[in-house]
């Protein structure tokens, strides 16, 4: 039996600016794998783009490195990314939103597995 936990990395809401969650990372040291689910339900603005990455912190140097990168979004979509190994100790989310008065309504959920 596989131990799993579902965590909401980014709650569903309308976001209009770039942000990250490095100041409040998620501790995932008890897990080896993860599935990430990005659900973009609305967008507005002129030529809006949404870039979402899951990043992990190196416990030796404290720097953040890419773990899972979603394809750039400019419309609504539901996308799954699998990370089959080595998710690290701490993960965070990096979101970049661009365009003229952009807005994306989206959520990001992780299913963590041992």
With contact defined as beta carbons under 8 Å apart, do 3 and 33 qualify? Answer: no
Q: Give 12-47 pLDDT, tens digit per residue.
A: 999 999 999 999 999 999 899 999 999 999 999 999
The whole model's pTM is what?
A: 0.94
Q: What is the mean pLDDT of residues 53-66?
A: 95
pLDDT exceeds 50 at position 1: no
Residue 35, phi-psi category: left (phi > 0), alpha (psi -120 to 50), beta (remainder) = beta
Determine contact, residues 97/50, Cβ cutoff 8 Å.
Answer: yes
Q: How many residues does this entry show for the chain?
A: 114
Domains and CATH numbers, the chain: 4-113 (2.60.120.380)
Task: Supply 27's token pair.
Answer: 């501790």
């Amino acid at each position: 039996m596989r131990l799993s936990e579902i965590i909401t990395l980014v709650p569903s809401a309308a976001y209009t600016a770039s942000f990250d969650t490095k100041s409040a990372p998620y501790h995932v040291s008890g897990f080896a794998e993860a599935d990430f689910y990005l659900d973009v339900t609305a967008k507005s603005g002129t030529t809006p783009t949404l870039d979402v990455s899951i990043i992990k912190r190196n416990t030796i140097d404290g720097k953040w490195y890419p773990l899972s990168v979603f394809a750039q979004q400019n419309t609504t979509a539901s996308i799954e990314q699998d990370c089959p190994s080595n998710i690290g100790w701490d993960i965070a989310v990096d979101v970049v939103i661009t365009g003229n008065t952009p807005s994306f309504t989206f959520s990001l959920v992780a299913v963590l597995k041992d």
